[in-house]
Amino acid sequence: MSAPNIRSFRSVEVSTLSHIAILLLISILAIIHLKPIIQPLVVAVLLFFLIRPPAQWLEDRYGHPLAAYGILTTGVVLLFFFVGNILYQSLQDFSTEAEVLQDEFTAKISWFSDLSVYGYSIDTSALTGLITVERINTITTDFVGTLAGFTGSAITVFIFLIFIIVEAETLPRRLEAAYPDEMDRFSSIVENAGAGINTYVITKASVAFGQAIIVAIILSYMGIPGWFMWASITFLLDFVPYVGAPLSFIPPTIISFILFEPMTALLILGALFGNQVAWGQFVEPQLAGQRLDMSPIVLLILVAFWGWAWGIMGLILGIPLAVIMKLALESDPRTRPIAMLLSLNPNSNDES
C-alpha cells in the first residue's frame, strides 16, 4: 500500500510545482504587458495603506468613512500637483545652471590636473570621460521625466483608489455572506497582513521623508542648484534597498565639489552620508523592528526583476511589492514556509 501512496504524493508535488510555474509565467507576462493597468493599481494600493490609518482615525472621530477617505484622497491629489510643480521648477533651475556648472567643473578638473603630490600628478582623463554636468543633467531629466510620465496616469491611480476604498468597506460583508465558515480565517489573514503592510509602508515613507527633509535643508543652506529635486530623488530612491540612498547623494556631492573648496565639499558629503546612516541604520529599525526583514539576495533579485520590467518606477515599487507578498505569505500557515525562505531571520517569524 505504501508504494501507491508514495507515487500519489509525488504526482501531487509535480502537479503543484507545475501549477506554480504556470502561475508565475502568467504573472510575469501580465506584469510586462499590462503595465499601464497594473502599475497604477499598485500605486493605488500603496496609497490606500498610507491613508488608511488617518482615515480610520477620522472615521472613529466623526463616523463617516467615505467622507474621511474623500478628504484624505483630495489632500493627496493636491499634494501631488503641488510637489510636481515645485519639482518641475527645480529641474528647470538646475538645467539653467548646468552650462555655468560645466565651465566651473572644467576649471576645477584643470586645477586637479595641475596639482601634484610628492611629485605625482593626478590623471583626470578618466574622470572627465565618466562625469560631466551635462550627463548629470540628462540623467536627472530622464528620471524626473519618467515620474512626470507616470503622473500622467494619476487619474487611473485615483480611480483605482476610489474603488479600493469602496471595496474595503463592503467586501467583508460579502465574504461573510459567501463563506461564513471561513470568515475567521479570512479575517485573521487580512488583519495580520494589513497590519504588517501598514507598518512597512508608513515606516518606509516616514524614513524616506525624514531623510529628504534633512537633505533639502543642507543643500538649500549651501545654495546647491536644484536642491528640491535632489531631496525628492532622495525620497524616492530610499525605497530601493542598499544602493538607492547612496546613489541619491552622488550628484549633489559632485556639484558641491564644483562649487566649493574640497574641504567644504567633503563636509557636505559627510553630512549627507551621516543623514542616510542615521535614518537607515538607527531610526528605521527602531520603527519597523525585525518583522519585515528579508534576505538581501532576495531583495536584490526582486529589484533587478522589477527594474527590468518597469524601469525606474519598478525599482521604487518593487520592494514594497516584495514586502506585501512576504507578509501575505506569512499570514497563512500553509504558505508560511515560503515566507521563511525569503526572510533574513526566519526564526523570528516562525509563528505557529
> 189 CB contacts (<8 Å, ≥6 apart)?
328, 331, 332
| Statement: residue 8 has pLDDT above 60 | no
- Residue-wise pLDDT for 233-289, tens only, equals 899 888 877 777 788 888 888 888 888 888 888 999 999 999 988 887 777 776 655
What's the confidence (pLDDT) of residue 292? 53
Whole-angstrom Cα distance, residue 188 to residue 191? 5
Angle between helices 250-259 and 262-277 (to 10 degrees): 160
For position 290, what pLDDT does the model report?
A: 47
Instruction: Please state the domain extents for the chain.
Output: 39-349
Q: What is the pLDDT of residues 287-302, one digit of tens each?
A: 655 445 677 788 778 8
Most confident segment among 67-71, 161-165, 177-181, 207-211: 207-211
Query: How far is C-alpha 167 from the chain's CA centre?
Result: 25
Angle at 291 between CA 286 and CA 293, to 5 degrees: 90
Percent share of the chain, pLDDT over 70: 76
CB-CB contact of 83 with 229 (8 Å): no
Other Cβ atoms less than 10 A from the Cβ of 69: the count is: 25
| Rounded Cα gap, residues 298 and 104, in angstroms | 43
Residue 117 φ then ψ, to 5°: -120, 115
* pLDDT of res. 150: 60
Q: What is the pLDDT of residue 120?
A: 60
End-to-end CA distance of the chain: 32
* Burial (CB count within 10 angstroms: exposed 0-12, middle 13-18, buried 19+), residue 282: exposed
pLDDT surpasses 70 at 204: yes
For residues 229 and 237, give the distance between their C-alpha atoms in angstroms, rounded to a whole number.
12
Q: How crowded is residue 121: how many other Cβ atoms within 10 Å of its Cβ?
A: 11
pLDDT of residue 216: 93
Q: What is the mean pLDDT of residues 59-69?
A: 74
211 compared with 350, residue with greater pLDDT: 211
In DSSP terms, 121 is beta-bridged to: 116
**Amino acid letter for position 276:** Q
The rounded mean pLDDT for the chain is: 75
Reported confidence tier of residue 148, pLDDT bands at 50, 70, 90: low
Predicted pLDDT at 261: 84
Determine the length of the chain: 352
Q: Give exposure, 193-232, as e/b (b: 16+ Cβ within 10 Å).
A: bbebbbbbbbbbbebbebbbebbbebbeebebbbbbbbbb
β-bridge mates for residue 120, sequence order: 117
CB distance 67 to 216 below 8 Å: no
Q: How far, in Å, CA of 218 to CA of 290, rounded?
A: 31
Q: What is the pLDDT of residue 350?
A: 47
CA distance linking residue 5 with residue 14, whole number of Å: 14
87-111 pLDDT, tens digit per residue, is 888 888 888 877 777 777 777 766 6
* Cell numbers linked to 92: 528647470
